[in-house]
Structure 1
Amino acid sequence: MSQDWTSARGRTAIGRVALSVPARQALADGQLRPERTVLDYGCGRGDDIRSLQSLDCCVEGWDPYFRPDSRPTKSHVVLLTYVLNVIEDPEERLQTLQHAWQLASTLLVVSARLTWESSKVQGREYGDGLLTSRRTFQHLFAAAELRRYVEEATGARVIAAAPGVVYAFKDEAARLSYLAYKVVPDAEWLMSADTASALDSLVDYAQQRGRLPRIEEMPRKTAELLAHLKPADLRRLTLQGADPGLIAAGAKRTTLNTLLYLAVELFNGRGPFGNLPVSVQQDIRSFFSSYKEACRRSDRLLLKLRDDQYVRGAMHASLAGKLTPTALYVHRRALEQIPTVLRLYEHCASIAAGRPAEWTVAKLRHQGRAVSWLDYPRFDQDPHPRISSSYGVDLQTLEAKHVSYSDATNRPLLHRKHEFLEPNDPAAPRYRRLTEAEVRAGLYQNPQLIGTENGWEVELARCGRQLRGHRLVRRPGNT
């Protein structure tokens, strides 16, 4: 990276008291592990380095301004955190990205500021960005532009991990493991203290996944406690203790999850069977006649995503979520309960644009293909929660859009909260009772008014009602 700068790049390095968003995302996704070396390339003041070291990560850093004497070395994971934004020379920007890619043996994490932050950056046009009054440069990326830019520079299959954060995997097995982590929920193992509790955990796993695990899938402690038993005895004891109905339900769930995973994998680029995670390989061996047959069925699932009539039918058949004339709205607690083709719809969008860290309701359009993640931070506390932000992606153009409502004075709000959940959600009956009371009071007679804060307050006053938590009561002076 050249140090002959036109802009004052050192001034763009901010001090942090917590991990940066991309480092925090990579840590949450299990990509920054104690056994992996990490290089923070363009580390600025080194705050991420200190935080990661306190979490037992083996991390080093290099920066041309703050750590020019250190030498960037090849590492399993390279973090390129908000570096590309500040390089005003397009050729040097590309060289920096390619050099970071050369230094990564497993994964390159790239983050950049996005175009929706333009209101926070003031300056005059300079090249393909802005030069501020402090002589710092900023090139703001569109979400699709960042993903495409990294793909073209590295030649890798890139996954959007979050808005403005993309992963480029050099190791194909690592990429497929990450997809499995995001798409196929792993069965959770019960604690094992002795042979009896280890067998209980085996029974629980079989009921969750619909099959017995291989020894490589077991926690080390569980495997050690059961090592004295022959495989045939383990199978017999597990099946004796398990509920056949739960095993059958687990098998059906795992079959659908495997099809979902393989369809998402095809959307991002399919790899050979041997590179799949061990657990996915075992699912395929257990529930399909062959890998070819599993891929053929998953390909059909991906094709169904293009069929408007099929998608609308799946939305009508979904037991979870609120269906409107244009979209299905589903709370994040209910997302795994919607039909598999709709789960695939949401996963493809998240890979293309990155699912935001904070969201409450997913909006899946059935007119066109677009997904939005809407954040209602007080969904469970507020009887009619107000929206905080929206982040969405059009799957036809891969263009993403972010809207913040933090400064809005008349925010949209939700009604009929129970409809966004699955029927068995513990909170659904409480929310349903509130909706029924509001209907009886006449509060939904003017649906064109109640979608915003001001309109809702007008209707509450007209009907002589007010809210106390999730209870509708008469206003003082109204009998």
Structure 2
Amino acid sequence: MARQVWQSERRLTAIGRTALSVPARQAVTDLQITSATSVLDYGCGRGGDVRGLERMEVSVAGWDPFYQPDGRVEPAEVVLLTYVLNIIEDPSERCATLRQAWDLAGSLLVVSTRLTWERTKVRGDEYADGLLTSRNTFQHLFSPGELRTFVQEVTGVRCVAAAPGIVYAFKDDSARLAFLARRILPSAKWLSSSDSASAITAVVDHAERRGRLPRLEEMPQQMAEILGHVQPSDLQRLVRRSADPAKVDAGARRSTLDTLLFLAVELFNGRGPFSSLPMSVQLDVRAFFSSYMEACRRADRLLLKLRDDAYVLGAMQASAAGKVTATALYVHRRALHQLPTVLRMYEHCAAIAAGRPASWSIAKLCYHGRSASWMDYPDFDRDPHPQLSSSYTVDLRTLEPSYSSYVDAPDRPVLHRKHEFLAPEDPDAAKYQRLSAAETRAGLYERPHLIGTATGWQAELQRCGRELRGHRLVRRQAA
């Protein structure tokens, strides 16, 4: 490809990497890049992602106009366009570059840019629609919503925000829906099987968890080969004889709600025909609904419930997991799947619209104004009162997000009563509850307006003559 004439010093924005970039790591985590996937890093800079993926035995090539001008520019299943669009000062060239990358992608284009809340990290003057630094480098900082809209307009397909500042554009809409299904629906884990008896046991387990008999196409290959000779009617009879009817009924109720959740979120992001749905979702629709149309109608009604303050508040108050305050529900990520379906849909819609951050501990769902936040307490499990690291919020009315970092704050917010954010049956809930009870008896919560930050909390510990040793509260030793 011919070398382009640059107006800004784009080469200076390339950084050396010893680990995968955040977008490449996200694509690997989401199973969009595997050892069986061909990858092109279009605008690879110094080639850190190329080397990292090669170490993972991924078939990968890289091209960069300055560092890798002789690299192979050939179509690949997955194309990475990582932190390229934000350094191009000409809007028309931005569009052309995105279009070129899209044309090279066989199945998926991964686009990432720097974001508006990184403004404090970029020292430069206003220039065109961005910033020009003293090194003559350019940055157009995107908002997550602007990035998603831009990619959709250029590619002409519905896109998914995989994380803040990372957008997936799928060539085939069924691949997009399969990705959504993996994120929204519980993973269908199969028991291992090496013979007919263990294979039938695995089928019975699936039927109890899913509420229906699996099809041969859904089974792992080894299991499908073992049971390939068994007639469906015989397998059904074996399952009916062995499965617990109560568990099958409970599994059917869960699957019905999970299917409604998927279809509601799918409508929020653009619903396709029945044939485009993942196989497992198609089978759930056929098993638990009279028709696809009926399933869609019920999912649409569920989505409309998000507008009903009373309904949303009722769901929050009825939830067995999480803490309800005067304005919102707070829930730990381990308990998120136990929320009522309308609240799980609430969180998923926000995540699909603007991306769920990679690191977070507590989700906050407001019932006035409809905004979702993901708050990161990196030491939640280790620290009895973890400090807030960051908060990422999405306004569902505008789909615009905001980000706040507390890492450099002089006095960071701290979390109390950790057990309230978990499900009652969480393995750590009892330990956290014992600590909260001891702190209450010691008088540490008598002045709640003082304990919201690390400094205030330490002052109250001092006043009450207490100190923490792990998740135990003990009397402070005299100096």
TM over 0.5: yes
SS in 1 for 2:393: strand
Cα distance in 1, alignment partners of residues 237 and 301 from structure 2: 37
Cα distance in 2, alignment partners of residues 369 and 132 from structure 1: 38
- Does residue 1:58 correspond to 2:79, yes or no? no
Task: Report the AA paired with residue 44 of structure 2.
Answer: C
Cα distance in 1, alignment partners of residues 137 and 192 from structure 2: 53
Q: Structure 1 residue 71: deviation in Å?
A: 4.3
Aligned residues: 478
- Does residue 1:70 correspond to 2:71, yes or no? yes
Q: Structure 1 residue 122: deviation in Å?
A: 1.0
- Does residue 1:443 correspond to 2:447, yes or no? no
Contact kept? 2:41, 2:60, Cα under 8 Å: yes
Task: Report the AA paired with residue 422 of structure 2.
Answer: L
> Which residue does 2:471 correspond to in 1?
470
What are the equivalent positions in structure 2 for 1:58-137 lying under 5 Å apart? 58-137=59-138
What are the equivalent positions in structure 2 for 1:27-38 lying under 5 Å apart? 27-38=28-39
- Does residue 1:264 correspond to 2:265, yes or no? yes
Deviation per residue, 1:54-93 (Å, 9 max, x gap):
3232222221112223342222221110000111111111
TM-score of the superposed pair, with normalisation by structure 2: 0.97
Contact kept? 1:359, 1:376, Cα under 8 Å: yes
> Which residue does 1:230 correspond to in 2?
231
Task: Report the AA paired with residue 325 of structure 1.
Answer: A
Cα distance in 1, alignment partners of residues 403 and 3 from structure 2: 34
> Which residue does 2:394 correspond to in 1?
393
Contact kept? 1:301, 1:341, Cα under 8 Å: yes
- Does residue 1:344 correspond to 2:345, yes or no? yes
- Does residue 1:184 correspond to 2:188, yes or no? no
SS in 2 for 1:289: coil
Q: Structure 1 residue 390: deviation in Å?
A: 0.8
Q: Structure 1 residue 36: deviation in Å?
A: 3.4
> Which residue does 1:283 correspond to in 2?
284
Cα distance in 1, alignment partners of residues 65 and 458 from structure 2: 56
SS in 2 for 1:305: helix
Deviation per residue, 1:412-467 (Å, 9 max, x gap):
11111111001111111111111111111111111111111111112112222111
> Which residue does 2:22 correspond to in 1?
21
What are the equivalent positions in structure 2 for 1:284-433 lying under 5 Å apart? 284-433=285-434
Contact kept? 1:390, 1:404, Cα under 8 Å: yes
Superposition RMSD on alpha carbons, in Å?
1.4
What are the equivalent positions in structure 2 for 1:196-211 lying under 5 Å apart? 196-211=197-212
> Which residue does 1:148 correspond to in 2?
149
Q: Structure 1 residue 128: deviation in Å?
A: 1.3
Cα distance in 1, alignment partners of residues 294 and 166 from structure 2: 34
Q: Structure 1 residue 258: deviation in Å?
A: 0.3
Contact kept? 2:39, 2:61, Cα under 8 Å: yes
Contact kept? 2:152, 2:159, Cα under 8 Å: yes
Structure 2 gaps, min length 5: none
SS in 1 for 2:467: strand
> Which residue does 2:44 correspond to in 1?
43
Deviation per residue, 1:336-385 (Å, 9 max, x gap):
00110000000000011110110000000111111110011111111111
Deviation per residue, 1:22-61 (Å, 9 max, x gap):
1111111111134432221111122212222332322222
Contact kept? 2:61, 2:72, Cα under 8 Å: no
Q: Structure 1 residue 154: deviation in Å?
A: 1.7
Deviation per residue, 1:306-354 (Å, 9 max, x gap):
1111111111111100111111000000000011000000000001111
- Does residue 1:165 correspond to 2:176, yes or no? no
Q: Structure 1 residue 2: deviation in Å?
A: 6.6
Runs (4 or more) in structure 1 with deviation over 6 Å come to none
Cα distance in 1, alignment partners of residues 116 and 179 from structure 2: 27
Task: Report the AA paired with residue 317 of structure 2.
Answer: H
> Which residue does 2:139 correspond to in 1?
138
SS in 2 for 1:448: helix
> Which residue does 1:4 correspond to in 2?
5
Cα distance in 1, alignment partners of residues 164 and 264 from structure 2: 22
Cα distance in 1, alignment partners of residues 58 and 275 from structure 2: 29
SS in 2 for 1:267: helix
Contact kept? 1:105, 1:171, Cα under 8 Å: no
Contact kept? 1:165, 1:354, Cα under 8 Å: yes
Task: Report the AA paired with residue 17 of structure 2.
Answer: R
Contact kept? 1:322, 1:419, Cα under 8 Å: yes
Task: Report the AA paired with residue 132 of structure 1.
Answer: T
Q: Structure 1 residue 395: deviation in Å?
A: 0.9
Deviation per residue, 1:269-294 (Å, 9 max, x gap):
00000011100000001111100000
* 318-327 vs 129-138, greater mean Cα deviation: 129-138
Deviation per residue, 1:375-417 (Å, 9 max, x gap):
1111111111111111111111111111111111211111111
SS in 1 for 2:450: coil
Task: Report the AA paired with residue 476 of structure 2.
Answer: R
Contact kept? 2:315, 2:342, Cα under 8 Å: yes
> Which residue does 1:457 correspond to in 2?
458
TM-score of the superposed pair, with normalisation by structure 1: 0.97
Task: Report the AA paired with residue 393 of structure 1.
Answer: V
Distance verdict in 2 for CA 1:355–1:85, change over 3 Å: same
Cα distance in 1, alignment partners of residues 60 and 302 from structure 2: 41
SS in 1 for 2:169: strand
Contact kept? 1:2, 1:92, Cα under 8 Å: no
